């Protein structure tokens, strides 16, 4: 699979960072966005100060407002915007790398399911793993997972996007990678709430361990592979999102737990939490942490009462 022209849809923080990574890998990159001021700045000053500060962007990135074809499309818009953006792009036939980590609020669908519905001729790939846009854009070492159904094609795309500091490891479990990426945001809300309520590092560590156990029940029940959980898209991303203040979901959780900070409205976990709860219930999987996050988001139960409820659950063997 020859990949020379890459189009990145979404000129926000993550889209611009992925455009930078693709350009560093030697690809010709078109970055598609809506804000004319941002697009002009990228083309003239080679920066995107609104989203990435003064990081210098590659001169091989051309910003525009219209998509006009490419060998590979990278969709880098929020999960709840995927349907609307794909509707504007039409029935894509190109390979499409999906990067949003979230489940659609109303339909309960994964990102690849939305793509298959709106662009059935497109070939889906999913990029996920422990990564922050600022690190990718700045050229700091970052390793992620790229999942696709065709082994050779997935490896070819991973090689085309890989650079000196951005490494993509090919995998075959699209469903599992998507679920891990979406659900870790829900657990990051919980971890942040524990931090915000000043319940201690021990409580947060215990929560992360139980989140991994819960994730290990849900992902296989919904069609993912167990081995995905121990990789970059599983444990790697869960650990990063549940411990770093750079995570929007963690920040939002801290605000919920402290009751003094302004929550972050861009946290994907807010929208994914009720979907995750519905999917777990449909699959008959016990998910007390996801249930607790939904209680917290409802604003009717305090973090202290939620933790007390979790701590009073019946004792049983860990495994």
Q: Residue 44: CB partners within 8 Å, gap ≥ 6? A: none
The long-range contacts involving 295-301, CB below 8 angstroms and separated by at least 24 positions, are 296/189, 296/190, 296/193, 296/256, 297/189, 297/256, 297/270, 297/273
User: Of these residues, 50, 56, 101, 184, which one is catalytic?
Assistant: 184
Q: Is 184 a catalytic residue?
A: yes
DSSP string, 263-300: P-TT-THHHHHHHHHHHHHHHT---HHHHHHHHHHHTS
Residue closest to 279 by CA, chosen among 98, 109, 50: 109
- In angstroms, rounded to a whole number, what is the distance separating the alpha carbons of residues 89 and 252? 32
Q: Residue 213: CB partners within 8 Å, gap ≥ 6? A: 318
Q: Output DSSP code: residue 110.
A: -
- In angstroms, rounded to a whole number, what is the distance separating the alpha carbons of residues 107 and 254? 28
| Dihedral sign of CA atoms 259, 244, 274, 88 in order | positive
Beta-strand (E) ranges in the chain? 5-9, 28-32, 61-64, 72-75, 95-98, 123-128, 142-148, 166-171
How many CB atoms neighbour CB 283 within 10 A? Answer: 14
Separation of CA 27 from chain center: 23
How many CB atoms neighbour CB 149 within 10 A? Answer: 13
- In angstroms, rounded to a whole number, what is the distance separating the alpha carbons of residues 203 and 260? 21
* Token pair in block for residue 235: 């444990």
Which residues form the catalytic set?
184
């Amino acid at each position: 699979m020859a990949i020379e022209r890459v189009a990145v849809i979404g000129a926000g923080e993550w889209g611009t960072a992925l455009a930078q990574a693709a350009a560093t890998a030697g690809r010709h990159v078109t970055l598609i966005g809506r804000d004319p001021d941002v697009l002009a700045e990228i083309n003239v000053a080679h920066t995107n100060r609104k989203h990435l500060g003064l990081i210098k962007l590659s001169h091989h990135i051309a910003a525009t407002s219209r998509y006009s074809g490419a060998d590979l499309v990278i969709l880098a818009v929020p999960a709840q915007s995927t349907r609307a953006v794909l509707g504007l792009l039409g029935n894509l036939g190109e390979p499409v790398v999906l990067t949003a980590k979230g489940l659609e609020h109303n339909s309960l669908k994964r990102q690849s399911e939305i793509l298959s519905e709106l662009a059935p001729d497109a070939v889906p790939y999913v990029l996920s793993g422990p990564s922050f846009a600022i690190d990718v854009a700045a050229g700091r070492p970052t390793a992620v997972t790229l999942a696709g159904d065709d082994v050779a094609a997935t490896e070819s795309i991973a090689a085309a996007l890989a650079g000196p500091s951005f490494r993509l490891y090919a995998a075959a479990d699209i469903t599992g990678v998507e679920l891990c990426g979406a659900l870790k945001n829900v657990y990051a809300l919980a971890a942040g709430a524990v931090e915000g309520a000043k319940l201690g590092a021990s409580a947060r560590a215990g929560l992360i361990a139980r989140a991994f156990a819960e994730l290990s029940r849900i992902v296989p029940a919904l069609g993912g592979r167990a081995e995905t959980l121990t990789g970059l898209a599983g444990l790697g991303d869960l650990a990063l999102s549940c411990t770093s203040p750079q995570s929007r979901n963690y920040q939002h959780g801290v605000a919920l737990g402290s009751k003094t900070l302004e929550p972050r409205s861009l946290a994907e976990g807010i929208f994914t939490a009720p979907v995750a709860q519905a999917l777990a219930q449909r699959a008959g999987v016990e998910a007390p942490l996801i249930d607790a996050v939904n209680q917290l988001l409802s604003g009717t139960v305090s973090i202290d009462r939620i933790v007390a409820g979790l701590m009073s659950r019946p004792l049983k063997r860990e495994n």
